[in-house]
Structure 1
């Protein structure tokens, strides 16, 4: 089958959904693809409640991201028998999680995202193709002419031509297919000058851990013990050299200091325990009450034994299966052997719940992948642009004249496949430079997610939900603007009058490009 559009958006995660919306709002036809059944990426198929900065309720996100958050809350008010207190809460948090102001069931978020796209889907301006994996690309000189996909349901191939192609995939899948110059893994400090980059040579296989999340429902008095996973014995005995205890255990690592950290599963009211960490359903919000559900994205299920990006297909498949086995093993350990404060062992009342994830086994449809291939960009964001420690004497992040958005999160790198532990350091609230979306050579490929021009280090603060959304929204608008003005994206950046015009377009879309002066440092 052959299809054509103005803007092809490959990957329907946070960045892809936002890119499709902005390109459509600016009058372009869009084809949006994803390799899974769902749209939403981190928010849905990967089942990760949004990691956001402390000011999210009043500043620091785009208008459409705020619209999504408001719509999730409204969906709960409209469709659930909430208590009067929950109904009245201006900033309703469906899960009452302490790591996120909006911890919600992925099924609800997915419905909201579909509703946001529906006005354009209904008139055919946006066409959504799920279960489509990119397998090849056609490039003439410095332009991508077409991308071919496999329809994993039917086995057929689809060739799509487009004026602009946006990479919003979770791992930068288009970069090797198009021959786009890119980076994978960890750079060296000799290359980037970053304070916390590798002291030795760059290592493409030094990648952050992935996490295969699972939803657990609390059903006291019941036994929901799963079968003993085939790799349970391995994970029961495994302990990494950089980790303070067994992988299947309560002791983890404090990200900021590297010191041992132990949180209770169920703590006293107000205590930062594991159960409320990423709880996505707080049963007491509902009348009559229903069982709590928490989303397990805890350090115990970070898989760091092998990289899964940029390796052979068999190595990738083996790594993904081991990540699933780790999660299943942790669930089985929780249910059967986890030490309890009363001296007993195990919590068999914890039931894997796939209903809220759209799966049958309670595990997310796909793993949470923190790090992608990254374009060699017109401009690369370095630690010294955003990190507090790397900017001695500064009081803010680097200011970019070509800003196309804002973000804020600590540089939060999970343990890596090379055996390094956490790196978690403070940043200033930062901007998203247009130059980070534009490859050094290809004229019509734009980064619309985690594949933008950042480093292994700065990926740690640019990879989070609202920043990925902002990057995608700016990328979709950039493609539409470039089509309208008849100029390539690098010209939009290099010509001040065009850049200013594009920034005005973004402002009209509700994209914030500057932080208020009174907001300074991202802390825990």
Structure 2
């Protein structure tokens, strides 16, 4: 079968440069050379899953992580409450590694939900999640006879790219300089620039590491794979491959978009989580100096949620004794008792939601260029430091609002009452493992999103769109009035399922057909996920905490239920580079679809797919793009890969998935 890279369209050329950044040698000698079959950058759940499957396949895996904990959402980001859907959870229809994680949590505590939270079936301590996941990876290496090379406190600074491949990666590992405070003493905003700088500093000693393949062959053969499993799509930005940020332009594929033209600065809010403990006696709380700046923002948000006990137990991660059963706003919970520990992650609380070019967190390509980060040796993580700092401040201010505040920006006076019997938990032995008490890294809901390669039906690059997963039927007046007649007709046609041919041929009107009641089925599906399209929208004005500020108008229009969905391999393959895969939140999704493709079990499934695909590609001597470049024609080796994924206990489709099965309402 003839294989070739598909030529990029002029549209994509206008979106982003096709010239990789030049490789820059570090200013001093590399301290260490490390070789591996698979380099996984980012130790969150997707990265851990990639490493897990690579190890189970007997491969040597290098795993780097900016913090010193593995686990991302469940550990370093503190979001240790598993977001799951009821049907998938009741059937335990997950990847094998995710099932092992759930079982290990249950074994560690003697129960799956030691926090007795009401948002999830499993809420637990972030510091324990790191220990549990490290044990899982060690055991995977033993069972699969693989080798794990774990590099915590390590960032990738530069990539050596020649033509269509990554030859090596230069990384920096940091540790405290002798006589200085330990790691996790200072928040990320105060350390991230130092972490990405080659030179030793008054705070950190650095080790410069060159990661490279175990063997180098002449010719086209690929001998290692690099997986971007970072929280913000760092390697996507550093390698300068086509990607999107923020809101996509409104179209028949993304009909609920809040912008006709798109907006790269409006991404979902990020959150520094923290832990607080209920005490018997009232505590003394000192107001932070910056509190008045953020006080106008804080709110319970909705009257049905305006109850402290409800908010405290929402993501309670430890509960040594069961309190009195309570009910508020239709939700039943057990009241907080002394010793209870709650993790806080609240939209109108510690979410920081910038949405303008003056304050956005994840830099666009233009901003990366302007700050010199696309120059050789210039990469500094691709984030706005001031946004990180303000995210840290708003989170600490939110704790003060919870315990001492009496205002509410959305519900008015008389709703919020002080709750002094609470203690902010900090210290290296605290749930977050930091002296400052905040999570080591913010919980990221959205970063850079890949644009896949042009393919049949996707001339501008592969992507998963809103209409591929949403349960909305789009017949209400909003869409008729907002979309042009031509766009609305295209929307109805795209939703027609098996009747779309009749619509295109003119034998049926789009209004006559019933929309399909399932998500898009992909021939190259390598994983699964299910969650609602859930938004934490950016704010309209800068700064986000400005008095009277509002959420971006129309951002919640796309929110709602989604059908169980798939993870296509094409969404994980970047343009330009043949030995790179993307896992986690940065796969090729639209802004609206990304609001569902971001939770724990999805991250694991995508990471598992990336790890197995990399091992398979090495076994077969074939690049991942070659598995899909002839679709919709048959791809025998793609089917072999999918069979391998399934046989290892990683589902690629939900039960009874078929174009003829449209009875998905039972999946809640």
Which of 253, 257, 263 is the equivalent residue of 2:306?
A: 263
Contact 1:186 1:202 in 2 (8 A): yes
1:233-285 CA deviation, whole Å, 9 max, x = no partner?
Answer: 1112x3xxxxxxxx2233x15xxxxxx6543012xxxxxx2122111112216
TM-score with structure 1 length normalisation? 0.87
1:509 lines up with 2:639 in the alignment: no
1:231 lines up with 2:290 in the alignment: yes
1:163-201 CA deviation, whole Å, 9 max, x = no partner?
Answer: 1000000000001221222112221124x7311124322
Query: In structure 2, the residue corresponding to 1:356 is in which secondary structure?
Result: coil
1:183 lines up with 2:244 in the alignment: yes
Contact 2:277 2:338 in 1 (8 A): no
1:33-54 CA deviation, whole Å, 9 max, x = no partner?
Answer: 0000100001111111221111
1:141 lines up with 2:166 in the alignment: no
Instruction: Mark the CA change 1:201 to 1:326 in structure 2 (over 3 Å): closer, same or farther.
Output: same
CA distance in structure 1 between the aligned counterparts of 2:118 and 2:72, rounded to whole angstroms: 22
2:390 matched to which residue of 1?
322
Contact 1:224 1:350 in 2 (8 A): no
CA distance in structure 1 between the aligned counterparts of 2:649 and 2:539, rounded to whole angstroms: 39
1:321-363 CA deviation, whole Å, 9 max, x = no partner?
Answer: 1111111111112222237999994222211123112122332
The structure with more radius of gyration: 2
Which of 516, 526, 529 is the equivalent residue of 1:404?
A: 526
Two-structure CA RMSD over aligned residues (Å)? 2.5
2:361 matched to which residue of 1?
308
Contact 2:277 2:339 in 1 (8 A): yes
Alignment of 1:450-469 (within 5 A): 450-469=585-604
Which of 394, 400, 424 is the equivalent residue of 1:332?
A: 400
Instruction: Mark the CA change 1:20 to 1:185 in structure 2 (over 3 Å): closer, same or farther.
Output: same
Contact 1:60 1:406 in 2 (8 A): no
CA distance in structure 1 between the aligned counterparts of 2:292 and 2:443, rounded to whole angstroms: 24
CA distance in structure 1 between the aligned counterparts of 2:665 and 2:277, rounded to whole angstroms: 36
1:131 lines up with 2:153 in the alignment: yes
Query: In structure 2, the residue corresponding to 1:413 is in which secondary structure?
Result: coil
The Cα of 1:417 is off from its aligned counterpart by 4.7
1:118 matched to which residue of 2?
138
Which of 420, 431, 439 is the equivalent residue of 2:552?
A: 420
Contact 2:563 2:667 in 1 (8 A): no
Query: In structure 2, the residue corresponding to 1:137 is in which secondary structure?
Result: strand
2:52 matched to which residue of 1?
21
1:382 lines up with 2:437 in the alignment: no
Contact 1:211 1:367 in 2 (8 A): yes
**Structure 1: 5+ residue runs without aligned partners?**
78-86, 239-246, 254-259, 267-272
2:483 matched to which residue of 1?
none
2:635 matched to which residue of 1?
496
Contact 1:14 1:472 in 2 (8 A): yes
TM-score with structure 2 length normalisation? 0.69
1:212 matched to which residue of 2?
272
Query: In structure 2, the residue corresponding to 1:156 is in which secondary structure?
Result: strand
Which of 260, 272, 283 is the equivalent residue of 2:320?
A: 283
CA distance in structure 2 between the aligned counterparts of 1:441 and 1:206, rounded to whole angstroms: 27
Greater shift, 147-156 or 384-393, is seen at 384-393
1:130-177 CA deviation, whole Å, 9 max, x = no partner?
Answer: 111111111110111111111122323111113100000000000122
The Cα of 1:493 is off from its aligned counterpart by 2.6
Contact 1:482 1:492 in 2 (8 A): no
Greater shift, 59-68 or 128-137, is seen at 59-68
Instruction: Report how many residues are paired.
Output: 485
Query: In structure 1, the residue corresponding to 2:212 is in which secondary structure?
Result: strand
The Cα of 1:521 is off from its aligned counterpart by 4.5
Instruction: Mark the CA change 1:50 to 1:448 in structure 2 (over 3 Å): closer, same or farther.
Output: same
1:158 matched to which residue of 2?
209
2:92 matched to which residue of 1?
59
2:108 matched to which residue of 1?
75
1:350 matched to which residue of 2?
422
Runs of 4+ in structure 1 deviating by more than 4 angstroms, as ranges, are 120-124, 311-315, 339-345, 521-524
1:241 matched to which residue of 2?
none
The Cα of 1:504 is off from its aligned counterpart by 1.1
CA distance in structure 2 between the aligned counterparts of 1:230 and 1:316, rounded to whole angstroms: 22
Instruction: Mark the CA change 1:344 to 1:396 in structure 2 (over 3 Å): closer, same or farther.
Output: closer
Query: In structure 1, the residue corresponding to 2:384 is in which secondary structure?
Result: helix
CA distance in structure 2 between the aligned counterparts of 1:448 and 1:420, rounded to whole angstroms: 28
CA distance in structure 1 between the aligned counterparts of 2:342 and 2:665, rounded to whole angstroms: 29
Contact 1:21 1:117 in 2 (8 A): yes
Instruction: Mark the CA change 1:224 to 1:400 in structure 2 (over 3 Å): closer, same or farther.
Output: farther
CA distance in structure 2 between the aligned counterparts of 1:161 and 1:206, rounded to whole angstroms: 36
1:360 matched to which residue of 2?
435
Greater shift, 154-163 or 424-433, is seen at 154-163
Which of 256, 259, 282 is the equivalent residue of 1:222?
A: 282
